[in-house]
Amino acid sequence: MNLLNAQSLLGVIGVVGACWLLSEDRKRFPWKLAVGALVVQVGLVLLLFGFPAARSALQGVGAGVDALSSSTQAGTSFVFGYLAGGDQPFPTGPMGPPFVFAFRVLPVILVVCALSALLWHLKVLKWVTRAFGFAFQKTLGLRGPPALATAATIFLGQVEGPIFIRAYLDKLSRSELFMLMSVGMSCVSGSTMVAYATILKSTLPNAAAHVLTASLISAPAGVLLARIMVPPGVVEEGGETVFGDDNRYDSAIDAVSHGIGDGLQVVLNVGATLIVFVAFVAIADKLLGLLPAIGGQPVTIERGLGLVFAPLAFAIGVPWREAGTAGGLLGVKLVLTEFSAFIKLGAIPVDQLSERTRTIMTYALCGFANVGSVGINVSGFSVLAPDRRGEILALVWKALIAGFLATCMTASIVGVMPSALFHGG
């Protein structure tokens, strides 16, 4: 272990310590869960990147993402023509056709949502989810319903995952409810994983593998930090609970149709959120521009966030010379969305940010913990469990903190591992 690997240990210790300070009961630190969550995270990383068969499978994921992107572009180009990268009516130069986010990334979300619904109907995604749910149940000590919802959240999203235990949401303890909200903010959905990989593939080798792994291993971190901040109650000490499947489709066509409808809502939400929040930041930057320049550069939200989060970026394993840039990305992810942060990360020239830092930041940014998700969680969970709206409102901002720190903890775990594990053949 070199100094950079050891440096990342600061992130693990600091994140856990911060959540302990915010705990509702500091005397009830879940030592057993802490060990189990760390073992699961490290074990998953070693399994996915340390074994030749798993590495080959991850490379296959990258090839699958490329195939999805090119297939989606074929459909998008048919509808939008040259705006989506089709035949250009004018010379484009050596850089090729322009990369328009609305026509190159958002359609990927739509296609993957439809594909996910089809895979669920064919029981492929259902059994994968149940397998992860069983693993979380045994390794993290969760009861059946929250274990299933935690696993479903990894692939389906922060509100979509809990839908599958909708009948049990009223029966969950306060700690379990908080845990689901926190895990939802610490992970991403399958549709956005592909979109992030599409954004990063030109600047980060094997981007799809890293994005997939990031969402998988952030779930145990979200569970741990949530249990530290809101310890479980006695009510959770009961036996197993049998749970059913609330998501059924009549046929493959019905599944695809529902997936298209759900995907359209996600696309509209992502697009609208980016437009509004980027506009708000632009307004704030114009107001800050009235202040005197500092260091020869104007005062901006991103510069301020870079200063605030630079120590955190350093703690998770980023060299100090790059910590300002990395801290700014963390701030953009929290204030705007992870999409904005990934776009900025993908736009940074290769020679201005090391591959190690890009890898660590991919894990740190890969989660739904942002201000916009607060509203999504309040509205989504209030519909699923209307009688618990008061609890939801009281817990949602704390869940934002837990979800944000969970991805930082995941990035620290990756930073502790030897670089050869990720870059080896």
Q: Is 421's pLDDT higher than 80? A: no
pLDDT (tens digit per residue) in 14-33: 999 999 999 999 998 999 89
pLDDT (tens digit per residue) in 183-208: 999 988 776 777 788 888 878 888 88
- Determine the pLDDT at residue 255: 86
- Determine the pLDDT at residue 239: 43
- Determine the pLDDT at residue 246: 53
| CA angle (40, 315, 306) in 5-degree steps | 120
Q: Is 326's pLDDT higher than 60? A: yes
The two structure tokens encoding residue 210:
């890293």
297 DSSP β-pair partners: 294
Q: How sure is the predictor about 425, in pLDDT bands with cuts at 50, 70 and 90?
A: very low
Q: Is 242's pLDDT higher than 70? A: no
Contact 95, 224 (CB under 8 A): no
- Determine the pLDDT at residue 395: 92
Q: What is the mean pLDDT of the chain?
A: 82
Supply the DSSP symbol for 251: S
Q: How sure is the predictor about 179, in pLDDT bands with cuts at 50, 70 and 90?
A: very high
E strand residue ranges, 263-367: none
Give the integer Cα–Cα distance in Å for 179 and 169: 12
Domain layout of the chain by residue ranges: 3-84+98-423
Q: What's the average model confidence in pLDDT over 143-148? A: 82
Supply the DSSP symbol for 22: T
Give the integer Cα–Cα distance in Å for 344 and 332: 9
Q: Is 68's pLDDT higher than 70? A: yes
Q: Is 403's pLDDT higher than 90? A: yes
Give the integer Cα–Cα distance in Å for 217 and 37: 9
pLDDT (tens digit per residue) in 384-396: 788 888 898 899 9
State percent of the chain over pLDDT 90.
Answer: 20
- Determine the pLDDT at residue 241: 44
- Determine the pLDDT at residue 350: 83
Q: How far from each other are the two terminal CA atoms of the chain, in whole angstroms?
A: 20
* CB neighbour list of residue 305: distance below 8 Å, 6 or more residues apart: 327, 328, 330, 331, 332, 334, 335
What is the helix (H) or strand (E) element at residue 346, kind and residue range?
A: helix 338-347
Highest mean pLDDT (candidates 41-55, 228-242, 328-342): 328-342
Considering only 156-160, 179-183, 245-249, 290-294, which range has the smallest mean pLDDT?
Answer: 245-249
Give the integer Cα–Cα distance in Å for 362 and 346: 10
Contact 116, 149 (CB under 8 A): no
Q: Count other Cβ atoms within 10 Å, centred on residue 371.
A: 15
Length of the chain: 425
| Predicted TM-score (pTM) of this structure | 0.81
Q: How sure is the predictor about 243, in pLDDT bands with cuts at 50, 70 and 90?
A: very low
What is the helix (H) or strand (E) element at residue 13, kind and residue range?
A: helix 3-21
Supply the DSSP symbol for 293: P
Q: Is 50's pLDDT higher than 50? A: yes
Q: How far is CA 256 from the centre of its chain?
A: 24
Q: What's the average model confidence in pLDDT over 145-162? A: 79
Q: How sure is the predictor about 238, in pLDDT bands with cuts at 50, 70 and 90?
A: very low
- Determine the pLDDT at residue 424: 54
Q: How sure is the predictor about 363, in pLDDT bands with cuts at 50, 70 and 90?
A: very high
State percent of the chain over pLDDT 70.
Answer: 89
The residue among 166, 186, 244 whose CA lies nearest residue 365 is: 186
- Determine the pLDDT at residue 224: 94
Q: What's the average model confidence in pLDDT over 393-407? A: 93
The two structure tokens encoding residue 4:
């950079």
Q: What's the average model confidence in pLDDT over 314-342? A: 90
Q: Is 96's pLDDT higher than 60? A: no
